[in-house]
Structure 1
């Protein structure tokens, strides 16, 4: 996805600011690195030639050799011959020293002149270098304004282009908004019309399905023969009395049985969905034989048991449900639970299963069924009773009260107690079908650094949300798993 223009401009400005910062830091570092030129020493002092001339005049300390005759002359000659060697050596030393000083006068003069010229040259060079550094810093300081000046023309062009693009975008946005508004209106009309058509289609499908089920029920009852019309009377016989009212009511109930089949098809779920949901109960009956499915309905659990090779049979009060199961090859009887169990031998069933049945029973009838189930189940057998969880708000208001055949909601702990009180040695609760997370109450997200008062209120709100979720939005179904422990025979 391309970057928006305003985001690009912000990014470029940040990059430019960062480049300016680094450039200024580098310029400051360069200026500090150059520093001022060092101080140069003065030339050495001039060579002291003050005594050169006197030394050249006084180096010869040897007097002239005395001459003359007489005692005085001879005495002077004797003294001269005695001290002359000593004066001669001093004269030689004086001569060498004066000669050395004379020869170094010129060298000292040249050295001082050279030092003066060198120091002066260094000073001029360092002055020029400092001037170059100053001019270089000035040049570097002028680069940014120079580049800014060069980019103004481009910036002005960009502003003009941006203005034109903005105007074009406004026009396009207005046109798009207008088109989107018109399209939204059309879509709303289409959605309303589509919803109406879908509703009508669903109603028509329901009506058609119910009509087909009703037609099937009528055809089946007509094939069996109407009550009171098993044989046509002859003319000599007295007229038959009308059929009892009970027979007429039973016939009418059989004709209306198709309605509950349609109800389950529409509201409980497809057979494939129900089979998938009930599949987790199969491990409770592994190794069992002769499992009874009470209220087997359309036979989904009987299908699952057959797929595992577990022999099973079913009972149901709805004749249409019984016909549906029989057409699929299951052993199903049209009977009520208590009456059917009463006719079985004690300890004859390997397992009992009832899904969404106990909530249809009156309390006294339920207690009788549980007592019979405990007697008819073999030692080591298992009974599984699944029902809606009335402790869950969604299950009660969305599912329980929708079905007019429901008689009594059973709290999980209540049903567990009744199973244990009916002779089962153990009973456990298993909760099924959790309410989807999206349908539960949602907690507030507390931002970091929020006001303490707001944080406290939000935490209290979230605590209350958790409590409501734990009470109202938990599990849609539960099952009580009752077992009869096999007797332990002493060794």
Structure 2
């Protein structure tokens, strides 16, 4: 580790131009060394084996001194190039190790989720016929009923998609911290339903706040993970589950990062059915990726192959309104950090106030750059997520 730390310090002080300069210096030092060696050899040949005179001694000594000086420069430049070559090899090795580590982490996580799936499968296979039949009555009547979410996620097996969420959505703790802001919306409510609850992060936050809630998801492995936390979760399709409950029986609906997985016709049916099944005045929260932010679209959205289509904030707001929901507001979250945004140009006050033609031209250029940066920031770098709340 100490060697790698030393290398990191060396690498931070080296650039590509530094490496090229060192190589050029070594070639020049080698040429000077060869020239000095040739001169020394020629001086010795010119002596012809005769006894040295004072002048012969001075010429030989001068040639030998120059030769020795060039040896030192040549050796030092060679050492620097060798160090540079070793550093370059270490850098390639570190990159290879980093790549292998990332690949290994992915494989291990997938294997972990696959092995975790074996336990529930064995327990399910070993249940009695009576309990199996009872499960079939409660689950199979609605599971995969017009299951757009399930059909899209079938591109990845349940345990692979769960591992995908682990890697790209973040840990359960980080997700729970993000969705915790929605908990106050449901204070005092009962019978809240989390559609597409995933690993149960929001359900856990609601449970901690003393809010009765149930989750619904088509991914069997995510359902198993949530149930292991003692959360009430049904292995159902969202629309099928809603159709199975009584009208005006639900005290609130929330779906985080779900609507982007749905076909438009399915989404419209889901909203219409939610309005029918929810109690008067019950809140609904739909969070999704913000496609109006280009960074969110080109990073988070297209990364997930189970996404069907993005939903613009104003489109989701409109769909909620035509389904009968009132006071629909848009709440944006996950702002893009400032260091990622386009930076503006700040000119000194002396230049901005100067009547000189050069200063005036420079101020105009800076103004144009800043105006364009603002336009691009509003298109590309705003908020990664948004929620429609009604």
Q: Shared topology, TM-score over 0.5?
A: yes
Gaps of 5+ in 1: 1-174, 231-248, 483-491
Distance 1:176 1:382, change over 3 A: farther
**Aligned residue for 2:114?**
214
Gaps of 5+ in 2: 1-74, 130-149, 352-357
Distance 2:156 2:338 in 1: 42
Q: CA deviation at 1:192?
A: 2.6
Of the two, which has the highest radius of gyration? 1
1:295/1:314 contact within 8 Å kept: yes
- 1:182-193 correspondence to structure 2 within 5 Å: 186-193=86-93
Partner secondary structure for residue 100 of structure 2? helix
The answer to whether structure 1 residue 477 and structure 2 residue 378 are counterparts is no
- 1:356-435 correspondence to structure 2 within 5 Å: 356-435=257-336
TM-score by structure 1 length? 0.55
Q: CA deviation at 1:287?
A: 1.0
**Aligned residue for 1:38?**
none
Distance 2:317 2:307 in 1: 19
**Aligned residue for 2:6?**
none
Distance 2:383 2:246 in 1: 37
Distance 1:267 1:397 in 2: 14
- Root mean square deviation of aligned Cα: 2.7
Q: Which runs of 4+ in 1 moved over 3 A?
A: 175-189, 218-226, 252-255
Distance 2:123 2:155 in 1: 13
Q: CA deviation at 1:198?
A: 1.9
The answer to whether structure 1 residue 291 and structure 2 residue 192 are counterparts is yes
Q: CA deviation at 1:456?
A: 0.6
**Aligned residue for 2:253?**
352
Greater RCO structure (CA 8 Å; 6+ sep): 2
1:217/1:255 contact within 8 Å kept: no
**Aligned residue for 1:457?**
365
- 1:114-129 correspondence to structure 2 within 5 Å: none
CA offset digits 1:399-451 (Å, max 9, x no partner): 10000110011110000010111011220000101111011111123243262
Distance 1:281 1:185 in 2: 55
Partner secondary structure for residue 426 of structure 1? coil
Distance 1:186 1:307 in 2: 55
- 1:82-93 correspondence to structure 2 within 5 Å: none
Distance 1:395 1:177, change over 3 A: farther
Distance 1:468 1:176, change over 3 A: farther
Distance 2:244 2:386 in 1: 29
CA offset digits 1:14-55 (Å, max 9, x no partner): xxxxxxxxxxxxxxxxxxxxxxxxxxxxxxxxxxxxxxxxxx
Distance 1:187 1:299 in 2: 47
**Aligned residue for 2:202?**
301
Distance 1:377 1:193 in 2: 58
Distance 2:332 2:154 in 1: 35
Distance 1:176 1:196 in 2: 30
TM-score by structure 2 length? 0.68
Distance 2:81 2:297 in 1: 42
Alignment partner for residue 343 of structure 2, among 442, 445, 448? 442
